[in-house]
């Protein structure tokens, strides 16, 4: 589905990604694991097309619809938007900004909010949401976006356990529907339990493949992740 060959990226003089080569199969559910500063966020940005590697190639097999959830949401939460508005933003790609919202669109938004446990929150302002509720909201927006490929950067970093569990369930449903998902995850127990594939990154690709084979003592020692 996606092939990266010999990708290099640097911020001014600082090399953040070095010779990244791997093939990402369609319909896969992959965790990206690595220490702080390993280049995980940089890699997702490069795949999302937000930054351009100075060397190497990124090749998509087919045209696909991509959704990208940044590490810390860039959305200013003091901005006067309602929960409903934010999910509606996920439909813009389909209807265009001036397209107007159909009944069907509004139904989709309500359904998405219900499936992330935010039914009844439609009119709430963003500043009235907890961290976990805000992350649920961003997942609701991704439901209506209906992308084929989802890039999630530390989706569980600032959320409570119940939210993590619910959102993991959604990720699994997306995987069953045939979507491809790449998520940066810190908690290795979650990775072992829910992610069939893992990419272990430390500027370079340390290992990539079946999670059990990737998260070995040796590979973790190599990236000094032991004990995490
Ligand atoms: N905008 C930037 N300017 C300069 N250096 C950056 C920038 N963003 C990230 N870096 C550096 O690049 C390296 C990789 O960053 P990042 O991809 O965010 O790592 P990770 O997500 O794995 O923690 C880090 O050393 C970080 O300090
Ligand atoms: Mg990061």
Q: Which of ligand 1's atoms lies nearest the C-alpha of 35?
A: 22
d(CA 128, CA 51): 33
Q: Which of ligand 1's atoms lies nearest the C-alpha of 154?
A: 21
Q: Residue 58: what pLDDT?
A: 95
Burial of 21 (0-12, 13-18, 19+ CB in 10 A): middle
Structure tokens at 49: 């097309």
Q: What is the model's pTM?
A: 0.92
CA of 97 to the centre of ligand 1 (A): 33
The SS3 of residue 115 is helix
Query: What angle (nearest 5°) sits at the alpha carbon of residue 33, between those of residues 223 and 185?
Result: 145
Top mutation candidate among 8, 10, 11, 45 for ligand 1, by most atoms within 8 Å of CB: 11
Q: How far is CA 8 from CA 20, 52, 158, in A?
A: 7, 9, 30
Q: What are phi and psi of 199, to 5 degrees?
A: -110, 115
Q: Residue 96: what pLDDT?
A: 63
Contact present, 99 and 183 (Cβ < 8 Å): no
Q: Residue 57: what pLDDT?
A: 95
- With CA atoms as reference, report the closest residue to 112 among 133, 138, 93: 138
- pLDDT values of the chain reduced to their tens digit, one per residue, 228 residues: 899 999 999 999 999 999 999 999 999 999 999 999 999 999 999 999 999 999 999 999 888 999 999 987 656 777 889 999 999 988 876 666 566 777 888 999 999 999 999 999 999 999 899 889 999 999 999 999 999 999 999 999 889 999 999 999 999 999 999 999 999 999 999 999 999 999 999 999 999 999 999 998 888 887 876 554
d(CA 9, CA 16): 6
CA of 68 to the centre of ligand 2 (A): 13
Residues with CB under 6 A from ligand 1: 11, 14, 16, 34, 36-42
């Amino acid at each position: 589905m996606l092939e990266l060959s010999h990708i290099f990226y640097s911020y001014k003089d600082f090399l953040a990604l070095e010779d990244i080569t791997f093939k990402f199969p369609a319909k896969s559910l992959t965790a990206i694991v690595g220490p702080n500063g390993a280049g995980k966020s940089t890699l997702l940005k490069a795949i999302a097309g937000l930054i351009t590697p100075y060397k190497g190639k990124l090749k998509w097999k087919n045209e696909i619809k991509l959704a990208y959830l940044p590490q810390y949401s860039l959305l200013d939460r003091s901005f006067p938007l309602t929960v409903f508005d934010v999910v509606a933003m996920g439909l813009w790609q389909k209807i265009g900004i001036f397209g107007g919202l159909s009944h069907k669109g509004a139904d989709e938004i309500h359904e998405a909010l219900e499936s992330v446990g935010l039914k009844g929150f439609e009119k709430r302002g963003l500043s009235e949401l907890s961290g976990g509720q805000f992350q649920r909201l961003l997942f609701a927006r991704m439901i209506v976006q209906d992308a084929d490929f989802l890039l999630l950067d530390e989706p569980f970093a600032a959320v409570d356990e119940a939210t993590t569990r619910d959102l993991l369930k959604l990720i699994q449903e997306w995987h069953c529907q045939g979507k491809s998902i790449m998520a940066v995850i810190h908690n290795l127990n979650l990775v072992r339990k829910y992610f069939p594939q893992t990419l272990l990154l430390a500027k370079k690709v340390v290992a990539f493949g079946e999670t059990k084979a990737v998260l070995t003592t040796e590979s973790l020692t190599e990236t000094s992740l032991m004990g995490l």
